[in-house]
Chains A and B, each alone.
Chain A
Amino acid sequence: MSKRVTSAPRLFLRFFRWYCDPKMHGYIEGDLMEAYHARLIKYGKRKADMQFIVDVLLLFRPGIIRSKSEYRNLNSADMIKSYFKTGVRYLWRSKLHSILNITGLTFGIVCFLLIDLYVFDELTFDQQHTNAERIYRVVEHKNVRGEATTIAAAGFKLAEESKTSIPEVESTTRMQRIGRANLVDPENPVPFQEDVTIADEHFLELFDFPLISGDKHTALKQPASIIINEDLAMRIFGRTDVMGKSLEFSFLPLSLKITGILKNHPRNSSFNFNSVMSESTAHNSDWFKQLMGSDWASNAFSVYVLLTPHSNPDSVSKKMTRLVLSNFKPDEGTKLSYSLQPLKDLHLKSANIIDGARNPNVEGIPQGNPLYITIFSFAAMFVLLIAGINYTNLTTARASSRIKEIGVRKAIGATRSNLIRQFLFESWLTTGIAFVLAIVVASLVLPSFNQFAHKQLSLFAVDYRFWAYAIGAVVIIGLLAGSYSALLLSRFRPVSLLKGLKIQSTGDLSVRKVLVVFQFTICIVMIIGTIVLLLQVRYLNNTDLGFNKDLMVVIDVNTGAARTNFEVIKDQMSKVAAVKSVSVTSRVPGEWKSFRTVRISGEGTTDEQRVSYLIGADKDFMTTFEVTLLQGRNFREAYDSSNIIINETAARMLGITEASEQTVEIASVSPGGAFETLDVPFKPRVIGIVKDFHFQSLRDKIQPLIIAYNQNPIHVIDYYSVKIAPTDIPGTLEKLKGIMVNSDQRDPFEYHFLDEQLALFYVEDERRQTLLGWTAFATIFIACLGLFGLATYSTEQRVKEIGVRKVLGATIPGLVSLLSRDFLKFVLIASCIAFPIAWWATHRWLQEYAYHIEVEWWIFVLAGALATGIALLTVSYQAIKTAFSNPVDSLRSE
């Protein structure tokens, strides 16, 4: 009989069961079966099956199909209320559990929010312009006989002509940073050394640099116009309503009229100019006239273009290349092409592009590092994940406390999906509470975070995308955290739940183990990462640079007088009691402005020309900076102006083993961009070789360096470097200032301490180290909260076992080790997984630096020991407490 019944087409029967209204389902299925049975006897199986299928299909009609809405209504209003109530009660009842969960999640979300704000800020650089999506920077790719340069610069005509001859180009603008000069208010002449930026009249139309006053269409139109930002206005005038006032640049014979006040740049802007002069101011000068007439391919301008919507930048840049090549013929063997770089890539994707169209003494656009964006995004995700895992672990570990509830719910008729929904709701409730708390904590921490990260982040003035992302992430974490426990807890059979009130499930335990191991793996990787970063930054700051950077005051030469009278000034400075020695140089070791590079070859040889750095320095350079002379001699007197000293690397490059006045030839020089051929080649003689010293950041390998005499035809002096005694530094500075100002009233006395300046190279590294350190700390803290919770419940479950063991004579150390052993095992396994990952990651990161520490074995041991120690401390508290408890208490009630 039952055979026949089951032979009805199962698929359709299932289909019927699925759609049928449960109220009618039983009767109708009975009918179907009865009819099927009758037909089976009458017509045979085939026909009966067919009829059955037809019946099922004909039953699929309104009135018989279950109505979804009836059940939905019940859930969405009443059930959610009920879930909420149960959830809150449950949180309230098990306070320790809830505190551990919510604290962990709050910590995780705070880290996540802060790091994401940081990352989001880095990713949204230069997005404040309305047309940001359509603005591109013109980048020139030049290849001279295999030697490629990529520079963000272009010529005057390119900017001017592409507007008219390329239809996709809506508008263009040119900008130049021509150098630094004193900017003074003629009514109150206090000199301020400022960058000089020139831009054409479309500059403010193409970009949206908001003006507080002034008209963006006309502000940069008239010659001798200048716009300044609030900061500069405050510095010069002490107020910002200074429209129409005049200003003077020390290098210009005319006075400039202020035609606009700019708002200060937001921190996430690549542009950092604080004043812009109208390009038309320069239009009458000879050099500019020449540019306007024929400059197709120079690197004199930063050119930005605004394309029409939906145009393809690649095809536009091809048209630009064609436009330039049809008007300009490059030298033999030179290839020239252009590309367009989206404005949004300026900050993070300009690593291989020289920031051109600027005087080398103007600092370039500061760059972000995409590697760290990746590292931080991962760190943020992992912290959140670890907090989520805590929730999963603690909830499943405590499953036994809810067995009765689940059993009763199931017995009354809750379906599995009801229970899943309930547990997911609870996990969202917990993450929701943590999210709100995290927002409060994050907004409290944010001011100090901003200060340290050198950002202007705000939780409430940020783009909606940030919040969409953050809320999305929190919802997903709630889902992930809740789903495992929801699936697990809803799986149990009601009968076994109510009868035994015990869960025999080993599966969830192993998942929990895997999760704990995963947490600790991440923790250990982060600990190792932080230690390596810490050591590397310390190494960068403390390594022997080959010269002495301490107590060195570097004074900028800003005026002609300070340059020509250097002998006198130097002499006066040396007479100050606290001054040990003085040197004049064109650049200093650890320079923050661009070095000049030259092409050099041995004279009379047909060797190909090599590239070397060059600085000018006087005879006191070596004593002042404590650079070691290996061979030959130092400069002596004026006739040394055609002699040079080279460093070891340059000596190796030129094949010089002994400094014996060999003549070398310097044919061309680059101020930081393309090489320009000298009118008369400079042919100096090598008189000495110095020991290599790190004249650049430790990211770079030591390059060949030529030290020419202070009077050399390539680079004039630019700095006084003064070695001072550590006593009364402010007094010494005051005296030095007196000397500088005496020589030229207009000198603003700009000075830096060399060690501070060098530390700036690595300030970002230090920030990253701190950020990563805190993240690692948060990760460990959260993981320990989880471990603590797990330890609490696992010892609670074994309390009877412990009681029995104690009665039978187990010792306390024995019991503690018994209870802690499991957790230690997790940490050890985690270490084994973490070590190779950490080694690989830190090793790769260190490749960023030409000079770096080695990742040594003791770092791993330390990290492992640290993780083990912390885990042990966390677990043993519970273990010891339980081990010391009186067995009577645990065994009395049975």
Chain B
Amino acid sequence: MKKYQLGEFEEIVILTIGILNNRAYSVSIKDEIESRLSRTVSFGALHTALKRLEEKGYLKSFVGESTDERAGRPRQYFEITAMGKKAMRYTKDTRDELWKAIPKTVWQANLTC
């Protein structure tokens, strides 16, 4: 169980990186999350999450081009590693299993409320 741990925000970040595919760097990830999920993301939270994911080995980063609007600072692109993919898959699978295990009546009961 401990094998693939992914927090809620981390999951969102790694999924977004998957969506962005090769174009994933912090600003684009932030914009993507903000537009898709309509929630604000601070650089602080994002960078901490990215750093942690990288430390866990789910992400790999490489240095990209630098632009003028970045005051000459390079972009740091992210890419999901094989282990990251496994972790995503694992998370999804466990969630699906849990979904399946919920009795149908729960939904009906909820509806009557």
Contact = CB atoms under 8 A, between A and B. Distances in A.
A35 interface: yes
B35 interface: no
Interface string B25-58: 1110010000000000011110110011000000
Contacts of B44: 55, 58-61, 64
Contacts of B26: 27-28, 31
A29 B71 contact: yes
Contact of B74 (A27, A37, A55, A59): A27
Given A1-B68, A55-B42, A58-B43, A33 B48 contact: no
A63 interface: yes
A61 B26 CA distance: 17
Contacts of A58: 42-45
Nearest to A31: B26
Interface string A42-66: 0000000000001100111111100
Contacts of B71: 2, 5, 29-30, 33
B102 to A, nearest CB: 36
Contacts of B81: none
A801 interface: no
A99 interface: no
B76 interface: yes
Contacts of B43: 28, 31-32, 35, 55, 58-59
Contacts, number: 72
Given A27-B26, A27-B76, A63-B52, A34 B47 contact: no
B107 to A, nearest CB: 39
A33 B74 contact: no
Contact of B73 (A1, A33, A55): A33
Interface in A48-87: 54-55, 58-64
A817 to B, nearest CB: 59
Q: Is the interface of B mostly helix, strand, loop or mixed?
A: helix
Contacts of B52: 63
A24 interface: yes
B42 A29 contact: no
Contacts of B47: 24, 28, 31, 59, 63-64
A309 interface: no
A179 interface: no
Nearest to B51: A63
A26 interface: yes
Given A1-B68, A34-B27, A58-B43, A29 B48 contact: no
A35 B47 CA distance: 14
B73 A30 contact: yes
Contact of B48 (A30, A35, A63): A63
A262 B100 CA distance: 99
A33 B69 contact: yes
A34 B76 CA distance: 13
Interface string A478-498: 000000000000000000000
A750 to B, nearest CB: 93
Contacts of A59: 42-44, 47
A58 B30 CA distance: 14
A24 B74 CA distance: 11
Contacts of A37: 69-70
B66 interface: yes
Contacts of A60: 44
B20 to A, nearest CB: 15
| Residue with the greatest number of chain B CB neighbours at <10 A, chosen from A2, A30, A61, A63 | A30
A31 to B, nearest CB: 5
A31 B76 CA distance: 9
B75 interface: yes
B46 to A, nearest CB: 9
A30 B51 contact: no
Contact of B51 (A1, A5, A24, A55): A24
Contacts of A62: 48
Interface in A120-161: none
Contacts of B73: 26-27, 29-30, 33
Contacts of A24: 47, 51
Contacts of A26: 73-74
| Residue with the greatest number of chain A CB neighbours at <10 A, chosen from B42, B44, B51 | B44
Contacts of B66: 30
Contacts of B25: 31
Contacts of B42: 54-55, 58-59
| Residue with the greatest number of chain A CB neighbours at <10 A, chosen from B42, B47, B68, B71 | B71
A399 B25 CA distance: 48
Interface string A1-32: 11001000000000000000000101111111
23 contacts: A1-B68, A1-B69, A5-B69, A24-B51, A26-B74, A27-B75, A27-B76, A30-B70, A30-B75, A33-B70, A33-B73, A34-B67, A35-B27, A54-B42, A55-B43, A58-B44, A58-B45, A59-B47, A62-B48, A63-B51, A64-B44, A64-B47, A64-B48
Interface of A: 1-2, 5, 24, 26-35, 37-38, 54-55, 58-64
